[in-house]
Structure 1
Amino acid sequence: MNPSTTSSQLDLQRPLNAQDYKTLSLSALGGALEFYDFVVYVFFAAVLGNLFFPPDMPDWLRQLQTFGIFAAGYLARPLGGIIIAHFGDILGRKRMFTLSIFLMALPTLAIGLLPTYANIGIAAPLLLLLFRLMQGVAIGGEVPGAWVFVAEHVPGNRVGIAVSTLTAGLTAGILLGSLGSVAINGFYTPEEVAAYAWRFPFILGGVFGFVAVYLRRFLEETPVFREMQARRKLADDGLPLKILLREHFGACVISMLLTWILSAAIVVVILLTPTYLQKVHHIAPALASQANALATVALAIGCLFFGWVADRFNLRISMIISFICLMICSYWFYSGLPGTPESLIGSYVLTGFTVGAVATVPIAAVRAFPAAIRFSGLSFSYNVSYAVFGGLTPIMLTLWMQKDVMAPAHYVSSLAILGLVLAFVPLTTSLAHWHFGEAKAAT
């Protein structure tokens, strides 16, 4: 055995052990709760608009400002991602991984306890904006930090299932937000929701977030970061972001394009389609919500499946299969609307499963950067791209659908083709060295 072989390489082919499963489960649980905290706002946007802005304000302006505050969380993501990732590459993954969920739990709980416009006037929407910005900062560090954390904990031949498990956990947060909204609106009258019940999802989200902070105390620092510390390979000779843009600009561009695909599939198929079904095809809200919930469950399963394919065969095969399926199913689903309730649910669920192709995006991205700047590389690429494309996609599609109701299918399928092209772009060296992004073992 070569004495220069690193411990990461020695563990390359080992099976997952009990510590790995604990890391994956706690990380996925925390990610689901944090993503729930981030998206629950949108499910109660109408109520928040009525409570946090002047009652004599025109309804369209009230809703515009309410969604403007929601969008502010997306705009804050790059800032949070860059700052948290910077210290994650220098001080450690675990510290920032724990800090991000704390920064999410605190403003979520504060929103649930926040006085309304009737109590404190203009300070109410300003505080709501402040807390939403804090949520954006937190989620900007949480998502890429979580992917890096789990990827660096498992052996190299299990990175696919590890990252896809975390991705499935994040999508479960969307489902929790949807189910929470259904439960609150089903159990309480509209008057009770406006009076006090809207606070419950935020308070519970904050409380569970602090529980997740406590649980993350039992996680260990990643072996990759500990090894970099021991070998003095941290990015301490300059800002990680500076090194990133100077030496790994190509990897940033590729990762941004991959994130564009991820944002398109999630935003269009999962977040915007329920409204599309109701507005364009006049499908009952209850049926649209039911189909969407089932499609979200299928999305989580699809993430796990395509992550398994990436480990069992290789990432390129997983990307090719998943993006071809996404392209075909997108056209099949949107061209078959409105159809019958059974056909709607069936085609939406299958399309949701193929949206699981997005799990290949973080798998590719964590392998695109060397360990010393991996957190910064993934965080910068992911958050900047998501802020731009995630924010512009709803506006662009709204205008496009005025001329073509098949716009969602065209958009998603076009980006699936982009994913096929990117599947053939080499991002990493051999699997044996992906942890450090080097072409040879360190001596």
Structure 2
Amino acid sequence: MNDTAFSSAPHSAEATNAPRTRGQFRLIAACSLGNALEIFDFTIYSFFALLIGKLFFPSSNPYISLLLSVATFGIGFAMRPLGGFVIGNYADRRGRKAALTLTLSLMVAGTLCIAVAPSYASAGVLGTLMVLAGRLLQGFSVGGEFAAAAVLLMESGHQQGRGWRVSWTLATQGIASVVGALCAAALHAALPTAALESWGWRLPFLIGLLIAPVGIYIRSHLDETHQPREQGPSPLRMLWRDHRGLVIKGIMATAAGTATMYLVVFFMPTYMIRVLHLPPALSLLSGCVTGATVTVAALVSGRLTDRLARRKPLVLTSLTLSMLAVYPAFWLITTYPSVPLVICLATLLTACINLGMTPLFLGIMETLPIEVRTSGISVISSVGIAVIGGSSQFIVTWLLARTGNPMSPAWYMLVCCVVTVLAVMSIRETPRREGAR
């Protein structure tokens, strides 16, 4: 198969009828749980970054404590590519189910390290090292989690329901961010400061630990979609030898979606407070609304993907809408700053870009041969998120400080959209045979 082919699914009336059996629900729940748990932990850690810095990275300068806490969180991004390479290769070599069980087990171990870590005041550097180890394990496991889950959903069941199934890997991330934000806000409101610092901040991580064993059990009983292959060359070696062009273009194609996610969903509340001087309460409200928007847009995109005969036009339509909306949205936000306007425009930007994410990843998955499919998506998603997602907030903050121009986020997002459009346009779209895997 040509490594620059962007697959499309043939149109069929069956595309309007997504399977609703108990087996399909179990499949979606099992595959989406790891992604949801990772975003839940991401949101919780973000809300408690200041407190974690105080407890595990004490310093006479509170900004140093916060910086060390955020840097430890950022280590998870650095570990994603390594996890993507190793776990993606493992999934293609040993099977999707084995990889998903491994990633969730590693994620549980990482979350446990953070949840039970003793503070610096009670155990010295031991607690700091446990938080660091937890973030390393979480980052490594997440590097292969998304790809293994998405590929298993794509390969299971009828071809005409692929868009709907794969869309849940993105939709549950939005649900998890909303639940995480509400959980953190509820703890802040319900507990006094002493209780929050002593044990309250650990509760969300412990909740995640209670859910994880259920996920591991369900995943261990899933049907395998790829016959494990012990012999032959490494899937990673085959991927680079035969499909490196598609991998490079795939990484470039993630630029717009990743930048929008990390800037509009996660960075926007900080931007509103520090640049536009809006009330801090906006942070929770904005995070909840954009998280819910990710969920709705992903599911709508999944339905549209199954209804349409081709993937690529929906991706390009999503990117075009994003490019047309981003500059006017930030101009209105900076010119007429208000909470309702900010939330409406953040919702618009989030919806526009997420309409194209499901068909983008599904098209690339269908293009890659089954023998290297998980390796390819693991490399594309983990490197894209680590490089673009991990640097977006830093670059935009630097641009704001350097230029003083509040429109800097808009210009950065426009550049990312252009990069993605060029990448998608360079991937040639060809029909795909019904029943092909």
TM-score by length of 2: 0.89
CA distance in 2, matches of 1:293, 1:49: 24
1:364 aligns with 2:367: no
Whole-Å separation in 2 of the counterparts to 1:182 and 1:345: 18
CA distance in 1, matches of 2:420, 2:162: 20
Partner of 2:37: 33
Q: Is the contact made by 1:270 and 1:292 (CA closer than 8 Å) also made in structure 2?
A: yes
The C-alpha deviation readout for 1:197-235, integer Å capped at 9, x for no partner, is 01111111122122221222332212xx14xx6xxxx48
Give the drift of 1:174.
2.1
The corresponding residue for 1:322 is: 318
Distance 1:354 1:194 in 2: 39
Amino acid in the other structure paired with 2:329: F
Match of 1:153 among 141, 156, 159: 156
Residue 23 of structure 1 corresponds to 27
Answer yes or no: is 1:284 the counterpart of 2:273: no
Q: Which runs of 5+ in 1 are unaligned?
A: 1-8, 437-443
Tell me, in whole angstroms, the C-alpha distance in 2 between the residues paired with 1:62 and 1:342. Answer: 34
Contact 1:371 1:435 in 2 (8 A): no
Distance 1:165 1:427 in 2: 26
- Compare relative contact order (CA 8 Å, sep 6+) and give the higher one, 1 or 2: 2
Equivalent residue number for residue 439 of structure 1: none
Q: Which residue of 2 is the match for residue 261 of structure 1?
A: 256
Query: Is residue 78–residue 140 contact of structure 1 (8 Å, CA) maintained in 2?
Result: yes
CA contact (8 A) 1:101 1:213 kept: yes
Q: Return the letter of the residue paired with 1:364.
A: G
Segment drifting more, 209-218 vs 80-89: 209-218
* CA distance 1:81–1:425, change in 2 (3 Å): same
The Cα of 1:34 is off from its aligned counterpart by 3.4
Q: What does the per-residue CA deviation read over 1:89-117, in whole Å, with 9 as the maximum and x for residues that have no partner?
A: 01110111121111112221231111111
User: 1:240 pairs with 235, 242, 247, which one?
Assistant: 235
Match of 1:109 among 108, 112, 115: 112
Contact 1:315 1:364 in 2 (8 A): yes
- Find the aligned partners of 2:314 and 2:96 in 1 and give their Cα distance: 28
Name the residue aligned to 2:346.
348
Which consecutive unaligned segments of at least 5 residues does structure 2 have? 1-9
Which amino acid in structure 2 is aligned with residue 347 of structure 1?
A: L
Percent identity (aligned):
27
Aligned twin of 1:126: 129
Secondary structure (helix, strand or coil) at the match of 1:399 reads: helix
**How far is 1:355 from its partner?**
3.0
Residue 336 (structure 1) aligns with: 332
- Residue 200 (structure 1) aligns with: 203
SS in 1 for 2:306: helix
Residue identity matched to 2:406: V
The answer to whether the 8 A contact 1:306-1:322 is kept is no
Task: Tell me the distance in 2 between the aligned counterparts of 1:32 and 1:12.
Answer: 31
C-alpha distance in 2 between matches for 1:34 and 1:68: 18
Q: Is the 8 A contact 1:12 1:157 kept in 2?
A: no
Q: Which amino acid aligns with 2:387?
A: V
Are 1:394 and 2:393 an aligned pair?
Answer: yes
